[in-house]
A = this chain, B = another copy of it.
Amino acid sequence: MKGLAELGEFGLIDQIRARFPQPVAPELGIGDDAALLSPSAGSQVVVSTDLLAEGVHFDLGFGPARLLGRKSLAVNLSDIASMGAVPRWFFLSLAIPAGFPLETIEGLLDGLAEQAAEYGCILAGGDTCGSKSGLVISVTIMGEQRPELILKRSGAVLDDEVWVSGSLGDSALGLQLLMEGKRLGQSDDYLMQRQLDPTPRCDLGRKLAEAGLVNAMIDISDGLLADLGHIGEQSGCGAEIQLGQLLLSPAFQAYAANQHAFPWQLAVSGGEDYELCFTAPVCNHGAIQKISKTTGIPLTVIGKITSSRQVQAILPDGTNFQPSASGYTHF
């Protein structure tokens, strides 16, 4: 099998080019000093970027490289979803260690190409280079939306209902299982899949924005409490949530049933759920439930926006939940 060194930088770029459809004229993708993009008239451009470093964000031993490729784009798609925007283009930079297996890179590119095709997001450019140690993946994504429809963290209003899509905690629990040595193909695949191959809520985010039902939105990457806290900070308010209202998957509940203490920490601070958390006026409740039905994605009210400037989480027994840590720290 041909190695990366033999393939070379331009060979690698050809491998990338072969997997991704190119922008159509008058746009210009891979092969010049810069990409040329034509956003729709009247749209704002919505841009997000995420850096994933080996040994920090991912462990290549946890699952196939294809899933890592899918996730690298999914976490960026999720940021576009949380603004209610439509993904359009992305840029991929890879720093690859010397002697890195070519088939891992090919798997990574396959996963990225799958995910890009699923969400209609075009690879418009990037950069490839060597790395002194681990693999580093940098993705910058660009979407678009009419400015008046874009959902920010700053729009929450007192007495808004706080909604969450899907179930929480699966991804964090899946990561815990992987760190304990479990792998895909055994039991608990659902939980590990949620960690290794999260689903960005692009269709849902866009529908909520275009229906004009929502005041503020964020995607849950750092954990519900931390991310709802970001909405509070930007909106100048707080929130009170009832943990008993959280939707938990059957797999999560089955795991919880075997624990001494219910693993609330995983559900509300574990992070990497990539579900959407949003706030909306009570009068929009029915219309939002209809969107839940048409998209097939569960949407649950878990609390409301308060004037308290903090996020208070109430356990099913009525006492306050005290998180042991909220969100991941990098340094």
Partner-B contacts on A (CB < 8 A): 4-5, 7-9, 12, 26-28, 31-39, 41, 44-57, 79-80, 82-83, 85, 89, 91, 93-96, 98, 124-134, 136, 138, 140, 142-143, 147, 150, 152-154, 218-219, 234, 329-331
Contact = CB atoms under 8 A, between A and B. Distances in A.
Which has the most chain B C-beta neighbours within 10 Å: A80, A133, A154? A133
B142 A8 contact: no
A144 to B, nearest CB: 10
Contact of A331 (B4, B27, B44): B4
A125 to B, nearest CB: 6
A131 B41 CA distance: 40
Contact of A34 (B36, B47, B89, B124): B47
Nearest to A135: B132
A97 to B, nearest CB: 9
Contacts of A9: 329-331
Copies of this chain, how many? 2
A136 B82 contact: no
- A-B complex: 3 closest residue pairs judged by Cβ atoms: A133-B133, A55-B132, A34-B48
B127 A49 contact: yes
Contact of A125 (B12, B39, B49, B150): B49
Nearest to A37: B45
A128 B330 contact: yes
A140 B234 CA distance: 26
A298 B33 CA distance: 22
A331 B5 contact: yes
A312 to B, nearest CB: 21
Contacts of A53: 95, 129-132, 136
B147 A38 contact: yes
Contact of A330 (B39, B50, B55, B130): B130
Contact of A140 (B85, B140, B147): B140
A299 B54 CA distance: 45
Contacts of A85: 34
Contacts of A82: 33-34
A35 to B, nearest CB: 5
A11 B143 CA distance: 28
Nearest to A56: B130
